[in-house]
């Protein structure tokens, strides 16, 4: 099951700096099953090459009214391209292109495609903040809205000019989410609650020191974001991490220790449909937390440790209707160890990542995962971003 399976998306790229992100956009759409063709304005080629886009889209890229084989010129049929598409997505849409679209100008192939397309049109504006807020651009956007074009919001942040503010093109993932929402009005996780544990836990030794680990929380946060985009209402219980999330569907509960994470999980577990344990919970905590800072008066120091509660095992023991997914981070004997955890903790699935794989594991933004179902059937994925891993994980869960 791919969320954009069989959807034909015609991507129109105009000449703004955000065009450098379009190969990622194309890649993301294709990963979800879409077919993508690209039309570029001549100015867009200054920012991203047709070769890159042809390679990632696995399709010819169009930018002129005729193909450049001079002996045998071919007309790039803008009408056929417009009719082929289920959606025309113009990203980035520069001030110039927006103005031309609003006023029926047709001096490049992209504008000709736009004027002849009958399919829904999505527009992702991108420009500097003062240009974006200028009444002329705001009027053009209103005109395009009156044509029933779907205008995506702009992002806020650093701009190519060095200024900061509103005007950035939405990130590829956000654009993809808008298309998923459009094609799948009944989102697969709508009305479902998903609980996710993320990040490390810190187990206090004294008021200053703790036992912790290198987990960054990136995988758990990516799982939360993707679930929210699929319509779920997400409870994300995270240990200390620098990761941030700002999504209306995500309730973030920050905790520090394994005990605190366990308390929050117990509070929410009964009401959720899916629970995913992505946290690297400390397996041991100091037997006693010293009330005062330990002084280095002795040459050696021994700490007495006791086990923390295994939160995932608790969920496995108490689950009723919930789908329960665990993670296994292994260094050796990976498959065997992961299958052992799947059984021991009464899981419905387990995601294995190996520290032996380059680019997988802690801190990095990529991961290489193997999904093991309860019946021990296995699906392995290549090294990809943690967001893409999260999408693959939900595809495995939803396929059941």
Catalytic residues: 213
- The answer to whether 189 touches 166, Cβ cutoff 8 Å, is no
Task: Please measure the distance between the N-terminal and C-terminal CA atoms of the chain and give it in whole angstroms.
Answer: 10
Cα distances (angstroms) measured from residue 372 to each of 186, 207, 343, 378, 396: 28, 41, 11, 5, 9
Cα distances (angstroms) measured from residue 153 to each of 150, 178, 381: 10, 10, 33
What DSSP letter does each residue of 24-67 carry, written as one string? Answer: HHHHHHHHTT-EEEEEE-GGGGGTS-HHHHHHHHTS-EE-SSEE
Least separation in angstroms between CB 335 and ligand CTP: 13
Among 108, 137, 130, which Cα is nearest to 40's?
A: 108
DSSP, collapsed to helix, strand or coil, labels residue 357 as coil
DSSP, collapsed to helix, strand or coil, labels residue 352 as strand
Q: How many other C-beta atoms are found inside a 10 Å radius of the C-beta of residue 41?
A: 24
Least separation in angstroms between CB 342 and ligand CTP: 10
Least separation in angstroms between CB 194 and ligand CTP: 15
Least separation in angstroms between CB 338 and ligand CTP: 9
State the Cα–Cα distance between residues 127 and 154, nearest whole angstrom: 9
Backbone angles phi, psi at 208, to 5 degrees: -110, -35
State the Cα–Cα distance between residues 54 and 6, nearest whole angstrom: 19
- The answer to whether 112 touches 104, Cβ cutoff 8 Å, is no
Judged by beta carbon, residue 88 or residue 276, the one nearer ligand CTP is: 276
**CA–CA–CA angle 30, 22, 53 (5° rounding):** 70
Name residue, tokens 């005109």: 143
Least separation in angstroms between CB 341 and ligand CTP: 6
Least separation in angstroms between CB 312 and ligand CTP: 3
**C-alpha neighbours within 13 Å on the C-beta side of residue 246:** 2
The residue ranges that bind ligand CTP (CB under 6 A) are 197, 258, 277, 279, 281, 283, 308, 310-312, 326-329, 341
Least separation in angstroms between CB 301 and ligand CTP: 24
Judged by beta carbon, residue 93 or residue 276, the one nearer ligand CTP is: 276
Judged by beta carbon, residue 143 or residue 346, the one nearer ligand CTP is: 346
> CA-based diameter of the chain, in Å?
88
Q: Which two tokens stand for residue 338?
A: 């992961």
Judged by beta carbon, residue 86 or residue 283, the one nearer ligand CTP is: 283
State the Cα–Cα distance between residues 379 and 161, nearest whole angstrom: 45
């Amino acid at each position: 099951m791919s969320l954009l399976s069989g959807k034909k998306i015609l991507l129109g790229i105009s000449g703004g700096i955000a065009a450098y992100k379009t190969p990622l956009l194309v890649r993301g759409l294709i990963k979800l099953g879409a077919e993508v063709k690209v039309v570029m304005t001549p100015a867009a080629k200054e920012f991203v090459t047709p070769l890159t886009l042809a390679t990632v889209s696995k399709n010819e890229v169009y930018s002129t009214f005729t193909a450049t084989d001079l002996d045998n010129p071919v007309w790039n049929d803008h009408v056929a391209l417009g009719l082929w598409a289920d959606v025309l997505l113009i990203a980035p849409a520069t001030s110039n292109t927006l103005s031309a679209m609003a006023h029926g100008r047709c001096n490049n192939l992209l504008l000709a495609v736009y004027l002849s397309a009958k399919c829904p049109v999505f527009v992702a504006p991108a420009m500097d903040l003062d240009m974006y807020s200028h009444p002329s651009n705001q009027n053009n956007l209103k005109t395009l809205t009156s044509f029933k074009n779907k205008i995506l919001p702009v992002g806020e942040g650093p701009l190519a000019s060095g200024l900061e503010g509103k005007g950035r093109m939405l990130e590829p993932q956000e654009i993809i989410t808008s298309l998923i929402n459009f094609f799948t009005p009944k989102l697969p996780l709508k009305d479902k609650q998903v609980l996710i544990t993320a990040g490390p836990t810190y187990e206090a030794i004294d008021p200053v020191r703790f036992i912790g680990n290198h987990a960054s929380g990136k995988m758990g946060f990516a799982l939360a974001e993707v679930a929210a985009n699929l319509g779920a209402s997400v409870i994300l219980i995270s240990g200390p991490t620098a990761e941030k999330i700002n999504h209306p569907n995500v309730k973030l509960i920050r905790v520090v220790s394994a005990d605190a994470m366990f308390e929050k999980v117990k509070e929410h577990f009964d009401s959720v449909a899916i629970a995913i344990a992505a946290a690297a919970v400390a397996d041991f905590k100091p037997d006693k937390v010293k009330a005062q800072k330990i002084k280095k008066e002795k040459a050696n120091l021994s700490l007495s440790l006791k086990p923390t509660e295994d939160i995932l095992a608790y969920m496995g023991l108490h689950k009723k209707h919930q789908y329960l997914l665990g993670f296994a981070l292994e260094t050796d004997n990976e498959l065997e160890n992961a299958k052992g955890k799947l059984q021991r903790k009464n899981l419905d699935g387990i995601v294995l990542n190996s520290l032996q794989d380059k680019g997988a594991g802690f801190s990095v933004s990529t991961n290489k995962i193997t999904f093991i179902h309860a019946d021990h059937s296995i699906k392995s994925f290549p090294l990809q971003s943690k967001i893409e891993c999260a999408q693959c994980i939900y595809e495995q869960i939803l396929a059941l």
